[in-house]
Amino acid sequence: MRYAIVGCGSRHRMFRDALCGPYADRHQLVALCDSNPRRLALSAAEAGRPVATHDAADFKAMIAAEQPDSIIVATPDHTHADYIVTALEAGCEVICEKPLATHPDQLARILDAQARTGGRITVTFNYRYSPARTQLREIIAAGTIGEVTAVDFRWHLDRIHGADYFRRWHRQKANSGGLLVHKASHHFDLLNWWLDSRPEQVTASARRAFYTPQTAADLGLAHPGPRCATCLDGAQCDFALVLDDDDNLRRLYREAEQADGYHRNLCVFDPAIGIEDTFQAHIRFASGASANYTLYAYAPWEGLEVSFIGTRGELTHRHTEVHGIFGGKRPPGEHESMATTLHLAGEAPRAVEIPEGSGDHGGADPVMLEDLFAPDRAGPDRHNRASDQRAGAWSILTGIAADRAAQSGVATDIGALIRDNALVGLTDPSRPEAGAA
Ligand SMILES: NC(=O)c1ccc[n+]([C@@H]2O[C@H](COP(=O)([O-])OP(=O)(O)OC[C@H]3O[C@@H](n4cnc5c(N)ncnc54)[C@H](O)[C@@H]3O)[C@@H](O)[C@H]2O)c1
């Protein structure tokens, strides 16, 4: 297959390096495309083999010139729809980073283009591919805990990873949909996939409690902002991100700033931030199950806790994660750990042995890349991990509904969102469509 990538920031590297490395004997990366010439040139230089570069304004011309079979979309979230629609209309397949889109209008255009062209869209829900999370789905699907009636799901973003969403484009809902769409689409997708169901109704609350000017004042920061690079409080601030301290951040962002004014280290306490950092949602599923979900972005640790309550027992999983460097200071002695416990009624709780995985996102990314680029070798998709536009849609519809519910204080019906926005391909009430959950 001939691939092109649009969006040459941090995330695209996983795809580029896979296509130019372990999968180079099967596929060809023919073009890179970005609106920032510096990042574009850097990516081409790092590719290690010749690859054409094109400015984002020439995306359509790039497709005509380079004839890719598939486009990988790794641009900021609000731009996905335009690239997906153009790619499908030009006859290409699409691999899109999550979230598929940020707004129902964008989703409607994507679903319409897919229905018109019949083109294939894959949404890269890498979180599905971690061995531990796949195992949870297997246990649930086998009926071990009976019918799942309720789920408690908490995701803790620590003050290093969590803070990062407040430094750049994610900090405005117009770009990212807010964390209920940008980040939680991973988590809502996991719920849909674990339960093999679809969300029907959502209530939620959301608040910016921590990344505020008040917190800066409480921390003794007298003159925070607007960017770490120029901040007078930088030396005292635990959240300061010095791009020059990290070779990767320097080359990818600081040295590319001049071209487009994209600053990677805006102040996390900026009053102009438009997203929240604390969320709770209650989701009702078509299966009859319900879930309580919590996300916050200033936790003292990073990871997830999930409990599935079933008619025969409980299944719980806890994963303490350790991330890469995004500024800030890590607590000492932090290490990755996972535990899954099965507690069936009438029996003692027992630890479940978790299959080993290695690589980014809990061992998920390498497994997903094999599925994407060597499906023959990866074997049949027994766990239904490959996700199409419908799975992408269900995950963001939960987030969009939760955001609306949080703003309005009223429960949001996902069926109404589908009808009001004429979202094609999502209306079959009788069964979860293939790939939808
Ligand atoms: N699945 C995951 O775990 C995961 C992890 C990180 C990011 N992501 C997703 O990957 C995507 C990219 O995130 P990132 O962290 O790499 O962001 P980034 O800011 O590092 O990179 C974005 C790139 O897109 C370019 N760009 C901006 N606007 C553009 C436009 N209109 N046309 C073309 N190029 C444009 C920027 O110049 C930059 O090079 C996002 O959708 C994000 O949600 C997914």
Is residue 115 in some structural domain?
Answer: no
Kindly report the protein residue whose alpha carbon is nearest to atom 18 of ligand 1: 9
| 298 and 401, same domain (yes or no) | yes
Ligand 1 lined by 34 (C-beta under 6 Å)? yes
Query: Which tens digits make up the pLDDT trace of 281-320?
Result: 999 999 999 999 999 999 988 999 999 999 999 999 999 9
| 138 and 204, same domain (yes or no) | yes
Q: Which domain holds residue 139?
A: 129-210+274-360+389-408
Assign residue 307 the CATH number of its domain: 3.30.360.10
Instruction: Taking residues 334-357, report their average pLDDT.
Output: 93
Look at the block and give the residue holding tokens 């994507």.
Answer: 110
Is residue 397 in some structural domain?
Answer: yes
| 347 and 250, same domain (yes or no) | no
Query: Which tens digits make up the pLDDT trace of 135-162?
Result: 999 999 999 999 999 999 999 999 999 9
| 282 and 336, same domain (yes or no) | yes
pLDDT of residue 333: 66
Q: Residue 429 above 60 pLDDT?
A: no
Pick the atom of ligand 1 nearest to 75's CA: 24
Pick the atom of ligand 1 nearest to 9's CA: 21
Look at the block and give the residue holding tokens 């209530």.
Answer: 203
Is residue 414 in some structural domain?
Answer: no
Is residue 84 in some structural domain?
Answer: no
| 162 and 255, same domain (yes or no) | no
Per-chain mean pLDDT for the chain: 94
Kindly report the protein residue whose alpha carbon is nearest to atom 5 of ligand 1: 11
pLDDT of residue 104: 97
Is residue 398 in some structural domain?
Answer: yes
**Which of 43, 75, 124, 255 to probe ligand 1 with, by most ligand atoms within 8 A of CB?**
75
Is residue 138 in some structural domain?
Answer: yes
Instruction: Taking residues 91-98, report their average pLDDT.
Output: 98
Query: Which tens digits make up the pLDDT trace of 50-91?
Result: 999 999 999 999 999 999 999 999 999 999 999 999 999 999
Is residue 308 in some structural domain?
Answer: yes
Q: How many structural domains is the chain composed of?
A: 2
**Distance (Å) from CA 275 to ligand 1 centroid:** 18
| 172 and 299, same domain (yes or no) | yes
pLDDT of residue 332: 65
| 230 and 180, same domain (yes or no) | no
| 189 and 145, same domain (yes or no) | yes
**Which of 5, 6, 8, 10 to probe ligand 1 with, by most ligand atoms within 8 A of CB?**
10
Q: How far, in Å, are 257, 265, 268, 320 from residue 233 at the CA level? A: 22, 14, 13, 31
Among 96-105, 179-188, 419-428, which is the least confidently predicted range? Answer: 419-428
pLDDT of residue 437: 44
Is residue 201 in some structural domain?
Answer: yes
| 223 and 250, same domain (yes or no) | yes
| 180 and 235, same domain (yes or no) | no
Q: Residue 206 above 80 pLDDT?
A: yes
Quick one: pLDDT band at residue 434, thresholds 50, 70, 90? very low
- CB-based contacts of 172: which residues, under 8 Å, 6+ apart? 273, 274, 275
| 192 and 288, same domain (yes or no) | yes
**Distance (Å) from CA 408 to ligand 1 centroid:** 30
| 278 and 235, same domain (yes or no) | no
pLDDT of residue 431: 47
- CB-based contacts of 20: which residues, under 8 Å, 6+ apart? 29, 47, 48, 49, 51
